[in-house]
C-alpha cells in the first residue's frame, strides 16, 4: 500500500522473528530524509511513502535537463553487444515473421544503444545453400521469360516452383542443380554472377521495407560470408574428438543432453546451416570479443540454437562470449482472416501490408480531418507506427494475431493511441506562450492523484528500459507507453490545463512538457515516429 514496500517474510525465517517485529526494528533504524515522508508497517510489510513534492521537482528537473537523453545511462559502457535480426532469405519473400523479427530486433538494438552499450546490428542474410543451385538452373532455363522488374521476388518464386517440379520429374536436373551449387562454392564466374544478381535484386526489395520501417544494420554479413570459414570449424571439432561419422556424414552427438544430433557436414561433403552458424560464432568472437550476441529468431528454431550453443563450447572461444550467446525467441504472427491476404491467399507481402496500413490511415484522416496539413507524412508515421506497435505490445514469445481494426484503433492499446496522446501534449504546449522555467514552478499544484500517477510513470522510464534489456523483452516498454499515455489522458481529463490561475497552468504545462519528451523518446526507441498532428 505504500509507494514502495519492503516485505519482511523472507527475513523472518533467517532471523527467527516475526515479520512484524523485523519491520518494526527496521523502521526504527531508518532515518527519514526529505525524500521519504513517512513509513508504515502493514502486515509484515514496511511501506514507504515518498515526498511527492520532491518527486515532482526531481523528475521534472531531470527531464528538463536531459531532454531526449532522459532515461539513458551508462550501464552498458565498455560492453559490446551484437544484435542479429531480420535475416531474411534471398530470392524468397520477406514474410510477416521476418517483419516481427525486424521490429523486435531493431527496438532492442536502439534500447541497448541508449543504455550505453557498443551495439552492432547484424542482418545474417540467408544467401547460401543448395537452393541457390536450383535457382541458378531455373534462371539458366527460363530467366529470359521474366523481367525481374516490378516484382522480382515473385519472378524468383515462380522460377523456384518450376525448377522444383522439374527436379521431381528428372533426376538429371537435380544433379545439375547440385553441381551449380558446387560451382558457386568453387567461384565459377557464371554461377556467381547469377547468384549475385539474385542477391542484389532481393536486397533492393528488402531495402524498401527497411526504409519504410526506418531500420538500419551495421553489418550485412550473411551465410555466404562464412562459406570459406567452415573448414576451420570442422577441423577444431575433429581435433577435439567430438565429430562422429554417421553414414558418411559428420555429426556431433548431443543425444545425452537431450538435443539429438547436430549435423556438421553432409555425406556429399557440403556444409549446412548449423556449420555456418558455428563459423559465425567463431568469427564474431574474434572480431568483436562480444559480451552478448543475441539471435532474434522464431521459436521454431529453438533446437537449432540449443545445439549450436552447445557445440560452440568446443570452439576455443572466450567463456565470456560463450555465456553471452542468447536466442531471443518470438512467437508466430497470424492474420485474422479477411482482406489481409494477397491474391495467393497465403503469403502476405510485407511491403503491401505496410502500404495498406498507410493507405488505411490516410483514408481515416480524409474522413475525420480533411484539412490537415502534411497528411501523407502523418499517414505514414501512424500506419507504420501501428504495425510496429502491434508487433511489440505483447510478450514476444506469444503468438500474435494481426487484425487491422485492432492495430489501427485510436482508443485501444495501440501505437496510434500513444501518438494521439503525444499529439495532445503538443497541442497543449502550442496553446501557451512559453514553457515555464522549472525554478518558477510551484509543485504544490502537482499533488493531486492524477498528477502524481503521471510523475511516477515518468520516474519509472529508466527502470523500464533496464528491464527491457535484462529480459530482452521490448513489450515492457510498449506496455509502459500505454500506461503513461493513459495516466496522462486521465490527468488531462481531470485537470484544466489552460487556467486563469497562471501558477496552476505553469505547473500543469511543465508536466505536459515532460510527458511529451518521454512519450516521444519511448516510441522512437520502439521504432515508431511521432506525427505532429493527427
So which residues are the catalytic ones?
92, 95, 98
Closest residue by beta carbon to ligand ARG: 126
- CA 156 to CA 145: how far, in whole Å? 11
Site for ligand ARG, residues 315 to 344, rule: CB under 6 A: none
Among 48, 94, 195, 295, binds ligand ARG (CB under 6 A): 295
- CA 475 to CA 393: how far, in whole Å? 5
Least Cβ distance, residue 472 to ligand ARG (angstroms): 15
Among 52, 100, 110, 124, binds ligand ARG (CB under 6 A): 124
Cβ-based nearer residue to ligand ARG, 113 or 221: 221
| Pairing outcome for strands 325-330 and 333-335 | unpaired
C-alpha dist (Å) from residue 139 to 127, 156, 159, 163, 201: 16, 8, 7, 9, 14
Least Cβ distance, residue 363 to ligand ARG (angstroms): 33
Site for ligand ARG, residues 85 to 104, rule: CB under 6 A: 87-89
Cβ-based nearer residue to ligand ARG, 80 or 487: 80
Total residues interacting with ligand ARG, rule: CB under 6 A: 9
Ordered DSSP codes for 442-457: -GGGG-SHHHHHHHHH
Site for ligand ARG, residues 67 to 86, rule: CB under 6 A: 84
Here the cell at position 144 is 529470359
Among 137, 155, 205, 277, binds ligand ARG (CB under 6 A): 277
Residue 37: name the closest of 58, 59, 54, 22 by CA. 54
- Secondary structure (3-state) at 327: strand
Cβ-based nearer residue to ligand ARG, 92 or 479: 92
Residues 6+ apart with CB under 8 A from 464: 476, 477, 480
Least Cβ distance, residue 82 to ligand ARG (angstroms): 11
Least Cβ distance, residue 330 to ligand ARG (angstroms): 12
Asked if 226 is part of the footprint of ligand ARG (rule: CB under 6 A), the reply reads no
Neighbours of 312 (CB within 10 A): 19
Phi (first) and psi of residue 447, to 5 degrees: -110, 5
Residues 443 and 509: beta-carbon distance below 8 Å = no
Least Cβ distance, residue 292 to ligand ARG (angstroms): 15
Strand partners, 6: 46
Strand partners, 489: none
Cβ-based nearer residue to ligand ARG, 2 or 97: 97
Among 96, 163, 294, 297, binds ligand ARG (CB under 6 A): 297
Cβ-based nearer residue to ligand ARG, 48 or 295: 295
Least Cβ distance, residue 10 to ligand ARG (angstroms): 41
Site for ligand ARG, residues 142 to 161, rule: CB under 6 A: none
| Pairing outcome for strands 325-330 and 292-298 | parallel
Cβ-based nearer residue to ligand ARG, 197 or 304: 304
Cβ-based nearer residue to ligand ARG, 292 or 520: 292
- CA 376 to CA 445: how far, in whole Å? 40
Cell numbers 545474417 label which residue? 124
Least Cβ distance, residue 403 to ligand ARG (angstroms): 24
Cβ-based nearer residue to ligand ARG, 305 or 491: 305
Ordered DSSP codes for 154-222: HHHHHHHHHHHHHHHH-HHHHHHHHHHHHHHHTT-HHHHHHHHHHHHHHHHHHHHHHHHHT---SB---
Among 126, 415, 436, 531, binds ligand ARG (CB under 6 A): 126
Here the cell at position 420 is 494521439
Binding residues (CB under 6 A) for ligand ARG: these are 84, 87-89, 124, 126, 277, 295, 297
Amino acid at each position: 500500500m505504500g509507494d514502495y514496500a519492503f516485505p519482511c517474510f523472507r527475513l523472518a525465517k533467517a532471523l527467527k522473528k516475526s515479520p512484524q517485529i523485523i519491520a518494526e526494528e527496521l523502521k526504527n533504524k531508518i532515518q527519514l530524509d526529505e525524500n521519504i515522508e513517512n513509513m508504515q508497517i502493514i502486515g509484515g510489510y514496511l511501506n514507504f511513502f515518498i515526498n511527492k513534492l520532491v518527486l515532482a521537482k526531481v523528475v521534472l528537473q531531470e527531464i528538463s535537463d536531459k531532454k531526449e537523453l532522459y532515461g539513458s545511462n551508462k550501464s552498458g559502457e565498455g560492453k559490446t553487444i551484437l544484435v542479429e535480426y531480420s535475416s531474411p532469405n534471398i530470392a524468397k519473400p520477406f514474410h510477416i515473421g521476418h517483419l516481427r523479427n525486424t521490429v523486435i530486433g531493431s527496438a532492442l538494438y536502439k534500447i541497448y544503444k541508449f543504455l550505453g552499450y557498443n551495439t552492432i546490428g547484424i542482418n545474417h542474410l540467408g544467401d547460401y545453400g543448395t537452393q541457390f543451385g536450383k535457382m541458378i538452373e531455373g534462371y539458366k532455363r527460363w530467366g529470359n521469360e521474366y523481367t525481374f522488374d516490378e516484382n522480382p521476388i515473385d519472378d524468383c518464386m515462380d522460377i523456384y516452383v518450376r525448377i522444383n517440379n522439374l527436379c521431381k520429374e528428372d533426376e538429371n536436373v537435380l544433379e545439375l542443380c547440385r553441381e551449380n551449387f558446387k560451382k558457386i562454392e568453387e567461384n565459377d564466374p557464371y554461377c556467381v554472377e547469377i547468384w549475385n544478381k539474385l542477391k542484389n535484386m532481393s536486397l533492393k526489395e528488402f531495402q524498401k521495407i527497411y526504409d519504410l520501417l526506418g531500420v538500419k544494420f551495421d553489418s550485412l554479413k550473411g551465410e555466404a560470408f562464412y562459406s570459406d570459414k567452415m573448414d576451420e570449424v570442422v577441423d577444431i571439432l575433429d581435433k577435439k574428438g567430438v565429430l562422429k561419422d554417421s553414414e558418411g556424414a559428420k555429426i556431433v552427438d548431443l543425444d545425452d543432453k537431450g538435443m539429438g544430433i547436430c549435423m556438421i557436414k553432409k555425406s556429399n561433403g557440403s556444409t549446412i546451416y548449423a556449420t555456418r552458424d558455428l563459423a559465425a560464432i567463431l568469427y564474431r568472437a574474434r572480431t568483436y570479443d562480444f559480451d552478448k550476441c543475441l539471435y532474434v529468431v522464431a521459436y521454431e528454431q529453438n533446437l537449432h540454437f540449443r545445439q549450436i550453443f552447445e557445440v560452440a563450447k568446443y570452439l576455443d572461444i572466450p567463456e565470456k562470449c560463450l555465456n553471452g550467446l542468447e536466442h531471443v525467441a518470438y512467437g508466430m504472427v497470424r492474420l485474422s482472416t479477411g482482406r489481409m491476404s494477397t491474391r495467393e491467399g497465403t503469403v502476405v507481402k510485407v511491403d503491401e501490408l505496410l502500404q495498406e496500413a498507410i493507405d488505411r490511415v490516410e483514408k481515416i484522416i480524409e474522413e475525420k480531418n480533411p484539412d490537415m496539413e502534411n497528411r501523407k507524412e502523418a499517414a505514414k508515421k501512424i500506419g507504420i507506427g501501428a504495425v510496429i506497435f502491434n508487433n511489440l505490445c505483447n510478450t514476444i514469445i506469444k503468438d500474435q494475431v494481426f487484425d487491422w481494426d485492432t492495430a489501427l484503433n485510436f482508443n485501444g492499446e495501440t501505437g496510434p493511441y500513444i501518438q494521439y496522446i503525444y499529439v495532445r501534449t503538443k497541442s497543449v504546449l502550442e496553446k501557451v506562450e512559453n514553457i515555464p522555467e522549472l525554478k518558477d514552478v510551484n509543485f504544490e499544484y502537482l499533488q493531486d492523484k492524477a498528477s502524481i500517477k503521471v510523475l511516477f510513470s515518468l520516474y519509472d522510464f529508466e527502470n523500464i528500459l533496464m528491464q527491457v534489456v535484462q529480459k530482452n523483452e521490448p513489450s515492457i516498454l510498449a506496455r509502459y507507453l500505454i500506461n503513461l499515455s493513459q495516466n496522462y489522458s486521465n490527468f488531462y481529463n481531470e485537470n484544466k490545463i489552460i487556467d486563469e490561475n497562471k501558477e496552476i497552468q505553469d505547473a500543469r504545462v511543465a508536466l505536459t512538457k515532460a510527458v511529451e519528451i518521454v512519450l516521444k523518446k519511448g516510441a522512437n526507441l520502439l521504432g515508431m515516429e511521432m506525427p505532429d498532428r493527427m
